[in-house]
Amino acid sequence: MQSLKLAVIAAIAIGFGGSAQADLKPSSGFGKPITQAELSAWDIDISTSDGVGLPSGSGTVAQGAKIFAEKCATCHGEGAKGGTQFGQMFGGLDSMTTPKRKLNPSSMFPYAPILFDYTKRAMPMDAPQSLTNNEVYALSGYIYSLSGLVPKNATIDAKYLSNMKMPNRNGFISDDRPDAKAVRCLSKCN
Amino acid sequence: MSRKTKLSQYDKNMIDVLAEPTREEASALLKHKTYAKEERLYEDMSELGRGRRRFMSGIAAAGAAAAAAGTLGSASAKAEKLSVPEWSKSMGRPIDPKVYGLPSKYEGHYKRNRTDVYVNKQNFSDWSMTPIQHQKGIVTPNGVIFERHHAGIADIDPDKHRLVIHGMVKRPMVYTMDALMRYPSVSRFHFLECSGNGLTDWLKPLSKTVQQTHGLLSCSQWTGIPISWLLDEVGMSKDAKWILFEGADGSGHARSIPISKAMGEGMLVFGSGGEMLRPENGYPLRAFFPGWEGNTCVKWLRRIKVSDKPWHLRSETARYTDPMPGGKWRQFSMEMECKSVIANPSGGMQLKGPGDYTIQGFAWSGRGSIKAVDVTTDGGKTWRAAEVEGPVMDKCMTQFRYNWKWDGAPTKIASRAVDSTGYVQPTVEDLKKARYIAGFVQHHNGIFPWSVSANGEVKNAIA
């Protein structure tokens, strides 16, 4: 009898455990409503495929070169050729079908605004979110100009970045795994 | 591991080098609790007809074999006379009024190691690896859960931390940690693996130890709340398809996650292994997507934004994508596929001569639970099922063991896992048929062999 009781209790426990998540969901939440104005300082992401989220402002390639020398070259090297911490940031646009693919903003990014998003949120590494929008536009123009994707006299803004056609635009495929076809061989396998 | 089996050449050799035991030693050994086993060994020894000397030697050999099987320890030929140690003749350390206990000072080797095969020039966007060869059971202690940061370790005051949910929602909300912890919490055991685990060792054995080859892997019981509860609370637009998860650290690391995963198993985690997350693991709040690459489980989570499309950020285009043939890159490859590795013995270890050893390791799959693990001890010619230890849980590290009698000949050992979907862990050769493997590539779930040389040295044998 005792063991039967235990079995019943165990069965209930297992049944409950399986659907605990749904059962425990509270009928009301504990969030506090927030307005767009209140959260705007955090709303920094760019939808990079269409440029939605790119702020107003602009910057020139020439300004970007100057800002890069002041704030970026310590780690990335003079002229973005590679520095004490990180490697070269341009070129290799035709490297994808070679054994040594070059990974940098110009060769890899399918959409130009990716560079704005990343630089604004994470750079410089020791002072992220310190660059103004104008500075980030200028730096984006400068970095892309080193690979010839932007002319040296260009002024970069939201519209400019959104309209750029990147070399690796069609370089991505979606996840099609599982792709390996292994069999569970047990004897005389090799 | 029967001791009834015929003595190996090693046992015979040992017998010949052993000294006569003293009467006292013989007495101590005969009182030993494994007497019954030793007696059986004595029977075996009798068959050899080599007298009392061999009987005592046999006991020592049995002890050595047992030590080797358990710890790969020394095959000491002769037991030492036991004396009463100091700690048995004195009082120990008093109980502190309040303390966070630490491991024994003799366990100083159990450390997370910063990557030292691929060496970054700075240690802010860097990683450190879990010593899985020392892990007991499937739960990784919080102090050695692997790290991957993009701008160092944020040190966040939980009272000042906020989580915002907005975008394509009806009611944007902000949450304090106190608010999040008012929800009923759920706790689940899952592995966490970096997609870069193994990236240095596809074609050449660059790493020495299993910590270096597989240490971007940890497992814990994660505590938090289902993301779906909060997404229901804010009320997503019917066009919602992707959700951004963004960290509050200096890198603002962010990933786009399909709505199905977020609304399914996705968790907002604040606890692991019985306590709040450690700072290096995202204190006070991180995202957790069971079975998906660690990179998606955004630490120091500050913001969730709902959209109808993915963001294609740097971390999902120039990084965390996989090179494919024809110059292509596989994107949003977030599931961690079925994988296993032998942790003991593994690279850098030394077997103490032929005899019985327990092969021990871990298997895991981001698509389900582990159905079976096979082990080869002859370089892949034959495979036999290992013992898989329960509980076998969904998307969780699972321990396997396999008893092996090493004959002393050079060989290669490896494990191969099968998951609940029927997927069989492939070899690197199998993976190379589908992917473009050159340089440091992510998502290495290939079978990983270790070589054992005649002198017992265990080495990385990936190529």
Model pLDDT for residues A55-81, shown as the tens digit of each residue: 999 999 999 999 999 999 999 999 999
Q: What is the pLDDT confidence band of residue B463, given thresholds at 50, 70 and 90?
A: confident
Q: Residues 6 or more apart from A24 whose CB is under 8 A from it?
A: B184, B186
Is A172 within a domain? no
List the 104-163 stretch of A: residues with Cβ below 8 A of B: 104-105, 108-111, 114-115, 117-118, 121-122, 125, 128-129
| Residue matched to tokens 């049995």 | B62
Strands B301-307 and B242-247: antiparallel
Q: Which of A172, A188, A190 sits opposite B329 (nearest CB)?
A: A172
Is A42 within a domain? no
Is B91 within a domain? no
Is A131 within a domain? yes
Residues B325 and B185 in one domain: yes
Q: Which of B124, B230, B330 sits opposite A31 (nearest CB)?
A: B230
List the end-to-end C-alpha distance of chain A, in Å, as a whole number.
57
Is A159 within a domain? yes
Residues B315 and B379 in one domain: no
Domain with B32 in it:
9-71
Q: Rounded to whole angstroms, how far apart are CA atoms B287 and B254?
A: 11
What's phi and psi for B226, nearest 5 deg? -65, 135
* DSSP state letter for B188: E
Residues B211 and B269 in one domain: yes
Highest-pLDDT range among A6-10, B59-63, B256-260: B256-260
Q: What is the CATH number of the domain that holds A75?
A: 1.10.760.10
Is A126 within a domain? yes
Q: What is the CATH number of the domain that holds B432?
A: 2.60.40.650
Is A94 within a domain? yes
Domain count, chain B: 3
Q: Which of B233, B327, B434 sits opposite A179 (nearest CB)?
A: B434
> Does residue A46 sit at the B interface (CB-CB below 8 Å)?
yes
Last residue of a domain, which of B71, B93, B120?
B71
Burial class (CB in 10 A: 0-12, 13-18, 19+), A7: exposed
> Does residue B430 sit at the A interface (CB-CB below 8 Å)?
yes
- Chain B nearest-CA distance from A155, in A, is 23
Per-residue model confidence (pLDDT) at position B105: 96
Is B94 within a domain? no
Is B102 within a domain? no
Give the CA radius of gyration of chain B: 26
pLDDT digits (tens, 9 = 90+) for B277-317: 999 999 999 999 999 999 999 999 999 999 999 999 999 99
Is A105 within a domain? yes
Chain A positions in Cβ-Cβ contact with residue B381 (cut-off 8 Å)? 187-190
Chain B positions in Cβ-Cβ contact with residue A179 (cut-off 8 Å)? 431, 434-435
Residues B177 and B216 in one domain: yes
Residues B119 and B267 in one domain: yes
Is B262 within a domain? yes
List the 354-373 stretch of B: residues with Cβ below 8 A of A: 372
Is B230 within a domain? yes
Is B20 within a domain? yes
Domain count, chain A: 1
Residues B363 and B319 in one domain: no
Residues B195 and B265 in one domain: yes
Is B387 within a domain? yes
Is A180 within a domain? no
pLDDT score of B107 more than 80: yes
What's phi and psi for B299, nearest 5 deg? -85, 165
Last residue of a domain, which of B298, B330, B362?
B330
Starting at the edge strand that comes first in sequence, how are the strands of the sheet with B322-324 ordered?
Answer: A172-174, B328-331, B322-324
> Does residue A23 sit at the B interface (CB-CB below 8 Å)?
no
Question: Cβ–Cβ of B186/A117 closer than 8 Å?
Answer: no
> Does residue B326 sit at the A interface (CB-CB below 8 Å)?
yes
- Spatial CA neighbour of A32 closest among B249, B177, B185: B177
Last residue of a domain, which of B54, B71, B88?
B71
Residues B148 and B226 in one domain: yes
Is B4 within a domain? no
For chains A and B, what is the number of CB pairs under 8 angstroms?
203
What's phi and psi for B71, nearest 5 deg? -130, 5
pLDDT digits (tens, 9 = 90+) for B316-346: 999 999 999 999 999 999 999 999 999 999 9
List the 147-186 stretch of B: residues with Cβ below 8 A of A: 150-151, 164-166, 171-176, 179-180, 182-184, 186
Q: What is the pLDDT confidence band of residue B1, given thresholds at 50, 70 and 90?
A: very low
Domain with A112 in it:
59-163
Residue of A nearest to B373 (CA): A184
Residue of B nearest to A111 (CA): B312
Residues B294 and B418 in one domain: no
Q: Rounded to whole angstroms, how far apart are CA atoms B246 and A119?
A: 15
Which is more confident, B37 or B240? B240
Chain B positions in Cβ-Cβ contact with residue A114 (cut-off 8 Å)? 312-314, 317-318
